[in-house]
Amino acid sequence: MKGLAFAIIRYGSIWNDPAWNVAVPNPATAHHPRAESVFTEYPASFILIRHPKVGYILYDVGDFPDGEDGVPRPVYWKEYFRPQMRREDYIDRILPRYGVQLSEVSHIILSHMHYDHAGGIKFFKGTHAAQNVFVPKEDFVQGCLAALTADNEQTTESPYWRSIMTAPGIAYHLLEEDTELFPGVKVLLLPGHTPAVGALLLELESGNYLFPNDACSSRINYGPPVHPTAILYDSLGYEKSVIKLRRIEREHKAKLIYSHDLQADQSYRHFPYFYE
C-alpha cells in the first residue's frame, strides 16, 4: 500500500536462560553429562506503523518500568527474566524524543497480553488510542483468568499480570478471527505460545513484512524443524501456527521480522528509520 511504513523500536533487552526461548537448547548427553545454561540477551521491541489513512498505529507497547505506578515487578520475574532498559527508552519517552506524541497514536494492536508486550498500555490512560486497543480474544480471556485468580501479583509465576490486565481507561476490542483492520494491515491469530498470538502482516509498496511475534520469536523456532519455546500453551497449536506462517510467507513473498532474535535484530534498521 502506498504510504504505509513501519519502524522497529528496540527499547532494551531481556536476559534469561535460553531454555525459555527454545525448549532444551543444550541437552546433556552421555558424553557431556553436565551441560550448562548461560544467561543470554534477547531483544525487546515494539513496532510503530505510519498509515496514510489512520495515522500512527502501535503493534505492542513494550514493558512498564518496575514500580513506577506503585506496583513492583513480581519476584519470580525479577529472578528469571532480567530487563535491561534505560528509563528514557520506554514507550512514553522514546516516541516523543523523535517527535511522536502518545496523543498522536490512533490505534494499538497487542499481539498478546504478556507483560513484556502489553505492560506499556498503562502509559495510554486518557489518550485517544486507549479507546482503540485490539487484542486476540482467546489470549485476553486467558490473561484475565490467570491474572484475576492469582492471590498476589508479587508471587505470580504467570506472565499475565493483574496490574496490566486491569489498567484503567483502556477499551479493548477482541479479535476472534484473522482480520484486516486497515488497508494493508492484517492481524493473523496463531495458537501455541498462548491461546492466540496476533501476528502482523504489513503490505508495503516495497513489499510485504510478516511479524510472527511470540508465535515464533526467532529463526531457531521457525526451523525447519520447528523448535517451540518452553513458555507454551499448546504444543500442537505451535507447530500448526509455524506451518501457517510458512504458507503466508510463501504466498505473500513476505520478509519475517522476529521479536526475540538478537542476531536477526542486529540486521534490522531501527527507529527513527522507517521501512516504506
User: Across the 276 residues of the chain, what is the mean pLDDT of every consecutive 10-residue run?
Assistant: 97 97 92 92 98 98 96 96 96 97 98 98 98 98 97 95 97 98 98 98 98 98 96 97 98 98 98 98
The predicted pLDDT at position 56 comes to: 98
The predicted pLDDT at position 108 comes to: 98
136, β-bridge pairs: 175
The predicted pLDDT at position 68 comes to: 96
Q: Sheet harboring 255-256: ordered strands across? A: 179-182, 185-190, 197-204, 207-211, 255-256
Model pTM score: 0.97
Half-sphere exposure of 94 (CA within 13 A, CB side): 24
Domains of the chain: 5-24+39-265 (3.60.15.10)
Instruction: Tell the burial category of 15 from Cβ atoms under 10 Å away from its Cβ (0-12, 13-18, 19+).
Output: middle
The predicted pLDDT at position 170 comes to: 98
The predicted pLDDT at position 185 comes to: 98
CA–CA distances in Å: residue 70 to residues 42, 137, 163, 219 = 27, 28, 10, 37
How far is 233 from 230, CA to CA, in rounded Å? 9
The predicted pLDDT at position 189 comes to: 98
Tell me the one-letter amino acid at 85.
M
The predicted pLDDT at position 21 comes to: 97
